[in-house]
Structure 1
């Protein structure tokens, strides 16, 4: 199991972190390097990725930011990918996805079994981006994805996991920079001398590493 596994409740357990900051592209552009990296680490757990995206500021718009994110994600080394996968938080599907509790409980049991088999085979957490999947289809999509990818060879699966992380980073960056309703206006302040070694929770995302 992943060393960052929590009790299974969003925001609880050993894997919980402070809420992700809400930023705009303009605030990301003007933030100190350390603050920008800390915000970016909520979208992808590779420090090299975060530093590279932060170093290429300013970004004129979200499209430019997403293009830089993709480029940095495509260049992740095996060590960078391992780091990013190890930092993926647990956020299991539940009632907030519209799943009945009985369905959730049964699916969670199946997910745990499939995840254990996956981690035993590949040595890292399963990740999948479900941004384009309807909430009522997410559980089935997640389980089918886990089961189908168990048949991959390790090299092929790491390539798929890397692409899923790239897609997750795009979605998280979009939500991080475009959220307006109920936004917490707290600064993305971080001491520039402080190394951002553990990212806060990710911006809300309908995906699950289990």
Structure 2
């Protein structure tokens, strides 16, 4: 049986994109002695709760790249159930400062919003919309695409960009923070599934 600080990545579903960003459990060659050894047989939440602090933070940074957010969630372990973890993640997301949000957005990618098998004309339109958004607001466009079918992604993302390009900067900052919270929540749920 393989034992390590973290076992292999739990299975999760994400849109099939060229470089879909997702949280991963690191797989060290052997236990580093910095925390209890965890076996691959443990459910995701148990793995997360018993992981070494640095490893838990690293996995959390794959969900939301705010260091303060990741440290806060890792420090409050163990969580009794997934709902408690997700509630804590939401609370930590609501407390993100402008600097925390900027830190998290700097690591986001448009790849999670690019539908697989998109025609070249649609892909060109989507890239142009992303570029217009980044030019206006100074950061990548973030929208939660959890629960959407692949054939719905393009229309959803384009409609979101078009609608949000009309926002004032402060209004868009609030919408972006909420979309980042929802995206991080989905990634976290998949991480501990």
TM-score by length of 1: 0.71
State the SS of the aligned residue for 2:119.
Answer: helix
Q: Distance in 1 between the 2:96 and 2:88 partners? A: 13
Q: Provide structure 1 residue ranges, at least 5 long, that are not aligned to the other structure.
A: 1-7, 96-100, 179-210
Query: Are residue 131 (structure 1) and residue 146 (structure 2) matched?
Result: yes
CA contact (8 A) 2:109 2:140 kept: no
Matches within 5 A, 1:80-119: 80-91=100-111, 92-95=113-116, 101=117, 103-119=118-134
Q: Does structure 1 conserve the Cα–Cα contact (< 8 Å) formed by 2:110 and 2:141? A: no
CA–CA distance in 1 between the matches of 2:110 and 2:131? 14
Q: Which structure is larger by alpha-carbon Rg, 1 or 2? A: 2
Structure 1 residue runs of 4 or more that deviate by more than 6 Å after TM superposition: none
Task: Determine the structure 1 residue equivalent to 2:79.
Answer: 59
Instruction: Say what the alpha-carbon RMSD is for the aligned residues.
Output: 2.0
Secondary structure, in 3 states, of the residue corresponding to 2:192?
A: helix
Match in the other structure for 2:19:
10
Residue 125 of structure 1 and its aligned partner are, at CA, apart by 0.6
Mapped pair 1:151 → 2:172: no
Question: Post-superposition shift, 1:89?
Answer: 2.7
**1: CA distance between counterparts of 2:72 and 2:119?**
39
Alignment correspondent of 2:58: 38
In structure 1, the partner of 2:24 is: 20
Deviations 1:135-179 (A, max 9, x none): 21111010010011000000000100000010011100111111x
Q: How does 1:178-197 map to 2 (within 5 A)?
A: 178=193
Q: Which residue of structure 2 lines up, in the alignment, with residue 79 of structure 1?
A: 99
**Matched residues, number:** 160
TM-score by length of 2: 0.77
- Structure with the greater relative contact order (CA < 8 A, sep ≥ 6): 1 or 2? 1
Following TM superposition, by how much is the alpha carbon of 1:117 offset from its aligned partner in structure 2, in angstroms?
1.1
Partner of 1:3: none
Distance 1:90 1:20, change over 3 A: farther
